[in-house]
Every structure is written in structure tokens, then in C-alpha cells.
Amino acid sequence: MNRRDSIRSLFLGSMAGGLALESCVNVSEEVLAEKVWTYQYGRTPAEAAYDKKLLNSDFLNGSEKNTITRLANLILPPNEKGTVEQAGVTEFIEFMSKDFPSLQTPIRGGLMWLENHCNRHFGNSFVNCTEDQQLSTLDQIAYPDPEAKAQKQEVQFFSLMRNLVLTGYFTSEVGIKELGYEGNQPNVWDGVPEDVLADHGLSYDEDWMPKFVDQSKRNDLAQWDDEGNLIS
């Protein structure tokens, strides 16, 4: 089992929560309407208004989004089935940070720690460091100390981001396809098997047998005569 398969098998994680900081931006109604959701779903007017409010505001700036995108790619590297960009993981994290304002302080604080650490040790921002430098930085915060009564804030930040990245990816279209989830599929119900009926001393009434659906004709269109009688 490779690293990505391991992550998939451990996906059912929980997410944590923190404090709000919103800056409204001016977005045209057309752009906002397009942003509201790629997949429409039933919402009450109050819920639609709430979503519109969140989508019409920004929390993360461009630099922070770039850092999150790079961090997400290190947590969940791209493969032939999908990428965090295709899944809209950064946009998901942006939305969640506005929907749950308590996430904002740990996210922004953790991003600041990444930048300060990389500038101090490598003289560069996180996204401009080499991959080895980025991974060595994450190694320091990716593995909680099992003996510690309370984890460091930067360790809590990485745990939060890992949960958000996995949730954002595996609840997207590409992520669900990678999991192989297909949902309910139509099947053919042809009655209780004969051996099961026999085990219970039961059988179908012969008079009813001709009235049951003939599964071999399930895709045939019904036809009626001029008097409305079913003839097929």
C-alpha cells in the first residue's frame, strides 16, 4: 500500500474549529452567481443568502492561497486520477475558513509560522523553497509527540490542514471517483431464490407467477390498444 492509498484508507477523520476575520470584496452578480456552486442543491432562501455572503468575501490573500496549494500538493501529491487543483481544495479551505471562523486564527498563524521558519532557515518563502526544504520543514510538525500533553500550535496547524485537504479532495468529484464510490446502482429483483424459499418451506403462488414482472422485458416500452388495454 502506497502513501496515497494509506491516506485514502484513513480518510474518515474529524475536523476542528476558531476566529473570524473577513474582508468584503466587490464581485459582480454574474461572477457571484457562477461561483455559488458548480453543483446546485436545494437550499432555503436564508441558506442561499448565507452562502452568497460567504462567497462575496475573502479571507485568504493570494500569497496565502499559493502556500496552501503547495502545502496541499505535498500532503496529497497529484496522480493520474486527480490533483488538489482539480478538486478545488484551496477554494474549499477558503470557504470553510469563512463558514467556520474559528479556523481562521490557526490557519493564518500556521501559515505565518511556515513563512518565518523558511525565511529564517533557508532565506526564502515556503513556496520558493526546494521540495526537500519544504518537506524537512513539514517533517518537524507532521508527527505529533505522543508524550506531549498538548501539541504545539504548528503541529495542530498541520493536523488541521491535513484534515481539510483530505476532506476537500475526497468530497470532490475527482476524489469520489478515486475512492471508487458509485452510489446506489439499479439491480434486478427476480424474487426470493428458490433455495431460500425451500429452506423456509415456502413457495410462490403459481397463480401469481404470470403477473410478476418479466425481467427480460424490463427495458421494453409498454404498448396499449385503442381501448387503453395493455397489450405488451
24 has which bridge partners? 57
Q: For 108-166, how does the pLDDT look when each residue is reduced to its tens digit (9 = 90+)?
A: 999 999 999 999 999 999 999 999 999 999 999 998 888 888 888 999 999 999 999 99
Question: Confidence band (pLDDT; 50, 70, 90) for 185?
Answer: confident
For residue 163, what is its C-alpha cell? Answer: 484534515
**Distance, CA of 199 to CA of 219 (rounded, Å):** 32
Mean pLDDT of the chain: 82
pLDDT value at position 76? 96
Name the residue among 161, 157, 160, 181 with its Cα closest to residue 170. Answer: 181
Alpha helix (H) residue ranges in the chain: 3-9, 29-35, 45-55, 62-75, 84-87, 89-99, 104-122, 131-139, 153-170, 173-179, 194-199
DSSP letters for 110-147: HHHHHHHHHHHHHSS-TTTS-HHHHHHHHHTTSS--TT
Provide CB contacts within 8 A for 172, sequence distance 6+.
82, 86, 87, 88, 89, 92
Instruction: With both helix axes pointing from N to C terminus, report the angle between 104-122 and 89-99 in degrees, rounded to the nearest 10.
Output: 130
Per the CB < 8 A criterion, the answer to whether 107 and 153 are in contact is no
- Dihedral angle sign, alpha carbons of residues 183, 189, 193, 197: positive
User: Considering Cα of 125, then 172, then 164, then 23, what sign does the dihedral take?
Assistant: positive
Cβ(72)–Cβ(84) below 8 Å: yes
C-alpha cell at position 127: 513556496
pLDDT band at 217 (very low <50, low <70, confident <90, very high): confident
Phi-psi region of 21 (alpha: psi -120 to 50; beta: other; left: phi over 0): beta
Q: Is the pLDDT of residue 69 over 70?
A: yes
Which pLDDT score, from 0 to 100, does residue 28 have? 57
pLDDT at 99 over 50: yes
Q: What is the DSSP letter of 212?
A: S
